[in-house]
């Protein structure tokens, strides 16, 4: 009995490690791309180029989510759910590392940077969507560990910049060292650990859960095999029976997702819209050095917000029902802070720098706090059959909010400034 309890405890720790590690490389890569705001603004002499970078990197996210919803069933019948998800969560880490090497060696021209951002966004979108689905299938409460892993990855460029003494005027060699440290090495380490955990069959229950939730009602008949995966995953009834009920079932099972779940998913999109309406304006509050400082500060407070929400799923109040009031108050506060920061941008009235920095930090601190609350609530209160699709819709909502936020930021800048083209000419 003691050996069994020790084995279960070890398995829980391994699941938390897996949930933490899966998003680190994507978080680090996207954060580094954003952290180069000062470097690229100085190189290309155009503050509006940062918004172009963000649009190039985040536009593939909702498109990737929509594409996956249409082709997943076809791909699973061809290669099995186990193979498909390990390719997306594991092998994709290697591809991301290769892209980091390309990033180091390519000429740093505006068109190249934007094309690389689009490819980077496509890879990270595939990783992010699949990570959410896999971790939610393992255990909904692990979503917070995934979010913390993503934010720790986002903080890695801050540490790299500190060690390398990185500033907007650094040499191309130090620029390349930053990419190798924050992207290539991180991707290789993540792949090695995930490969080990995959070989220990840590994800097998999650693969079974995903195979079951991805099937049609007719395919969920216990006497039917699930595509070509039947040999390795068995019948769908076997897949369902292999799921750990204590970890994967919703708190309040229901026949279908209730209306408030979709409202929360939409609120997650609004939360992301606010964040990416304000964040791209960083180069316009001052010098390239201030823009880099604001970008790195955002990553640090984002990580703090994720860490604060780590015990969310274990709180007693969380199990009494969704925290509608907390979500509402958080969004209202963020709207007010967004208005304050936009007023600072307009230069119509002067604000002391310390007050501005506090407002910037608190505004971005609330983003991961509310985002984690939405993610864990949606995953925990949804049924096994619908969780995979709801998590995809949640990611789609968030990154649709990101795109609309970037477009809103562009409209604001065109209204306040006469900035000209957002795309500087190659030179």
Range of the domain at 76: 10-416
Q: Is residue 55 part of a domain?
A: yes
133 or 216, greater pLDDT: 133
243 or 124, greater pLDDT: 124
The whole-angstrom separation of Cα 335 and Cα 27 is 25
Residues paired with residue 225 on neighbouring β-strands, in sequence order: 235
Q: Is residue 400 part of a domain?
A: yes
| Cβ atoms of residues 372 and 143 within 8 Å | yes
**Count of the separate structural domains present in the chain:** 1
The whole-angstrom separation of Cα 220 and Cα 236 is 6
The whole-angstrom separation of Cα 144 and Cα 287 is 35
Mention every residue, 6+ apart, whose C-beta is less than 8 A from residue 405. 272, 273, 274, 275, 276, 277, 279, 280
CATH code at 154? 1.20.1250.20
310-329 tens-digit pLDDT: 776 666 666 677 888 989 99
Q: Is residue 1 part of a domain?
A: no
Report for 69-78, 203-212, 258-267: range of highest mean pLDDT: 258-267
Residue 213 pLDDT exceeds 80:
no
The mean of the pLDDT values for the chain is: 81
Q: What is the mean pLDDT of residues 384-409?
A: 85
pTM score, two decimals? Answer: 0.73
Residue 270 pLDDT exceeds 60:
yes
Q: Is residue 306 part of a domain?
A: yes
Burial class (CB in 10 A: 0-12, 13-18, 19+), 75: middle
pLDDT at residue 183 in the model = 94
Q: Is residue 411 part of a domain?
A: yes
pLDDT at residue 245 in the model = 38
Q: Is residue 2 part of a domain?
A: no
Q: What is the mean pLDDT of residues 74-101?
A: 87
The whole-angstrom separation of Cα 274 and Cα 406 is 9
Q: Is residue 355 part of a domain?
A: yes
Q: Is residue 273 part of a domain?
A: yes
């Amino acid at each position: 009995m003691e050996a069994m309890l020790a084995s279960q405890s070890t398995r829980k720790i391994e699941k938390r490690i897996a949930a933490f590690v899966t998003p680190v490389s994507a978080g680090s890569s996207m954060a580094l791309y954003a952290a180069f705001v000062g470097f690229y603004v100085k190189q290309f002499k155009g503050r509006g180029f940062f918004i172009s970078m963000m649009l190039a990197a985040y536009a593939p996210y909702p498109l990737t989510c929509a594409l996956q919803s249409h082709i997943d069933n076809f791909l699973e019948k061809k290669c099995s759910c186990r193979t498909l998800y390990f390719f997306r969560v594991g092998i994709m880490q290697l591809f991301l590392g290769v892209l980091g090497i390309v990033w180091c060696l390519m000429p740093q021209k505006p068109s190249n940077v934007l094309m690389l951002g689009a490819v980077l966004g496509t890879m990270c979108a595939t990783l992010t969507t699949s990570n959410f689905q896999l971790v939610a299938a393992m255990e909904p409460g692990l979503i917070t560990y995934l979010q913390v892993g993503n934010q720790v990855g986002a903080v890695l460029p801050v540490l790299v910049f500190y060690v390398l003494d990185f500033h907007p005027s650094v040499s191309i060699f130090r620029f390349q060292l930053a990419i190798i440290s924050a992207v290539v090495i991180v991707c290789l380490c993540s792949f090695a650990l995930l490969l080990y955990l995959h070989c220990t069959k840590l994800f097998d229950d999650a693969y079974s859960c995903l195979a079951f939730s991805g099937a049609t009602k007719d395919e969920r008949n216990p006497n039917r095999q699930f595509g070509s995966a039947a040999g390795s995953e068995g019948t769908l009834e076997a897949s369902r029976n292999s799921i750990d009920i204590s970890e994967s079932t919703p708190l309040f099972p229901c026949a279908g997702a209730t209306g408030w779940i979709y409202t929360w998913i939409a609120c997650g999109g609004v939360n992301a819209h606010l964040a990416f309406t304000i964040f791209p304006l960083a180069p316009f509050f001052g010098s390239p050095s201030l823009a880099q400082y604001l970008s790195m500060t955002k990553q640090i407070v984002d990580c703090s917000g994720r860490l604060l929400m780590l015990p969310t799923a274990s709180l007693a109040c969380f199990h009494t029902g969704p925290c509608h009031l907390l979500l509402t108050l958080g969004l209202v506060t963020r709207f007010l802070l967004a208005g304050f920061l936009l007023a600072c941008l307009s230069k119509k009235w002067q604000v002391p720098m310390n007050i501005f920095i506090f407002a910037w930090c608190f505004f971005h601190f609330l983003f991961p706090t509310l985002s984690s609350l939405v993610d864990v609530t949606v995953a925990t209160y949804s049924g096994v059959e619908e969780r995979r699709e709801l998590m995809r819709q949640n990611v789609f909502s968030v990154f649709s909010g990101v795109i609309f936020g970037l477009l809103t930021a562009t409209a604001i800048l065109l209204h306040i400034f006469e900035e000209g083209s957002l795309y500087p000419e190659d030179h």
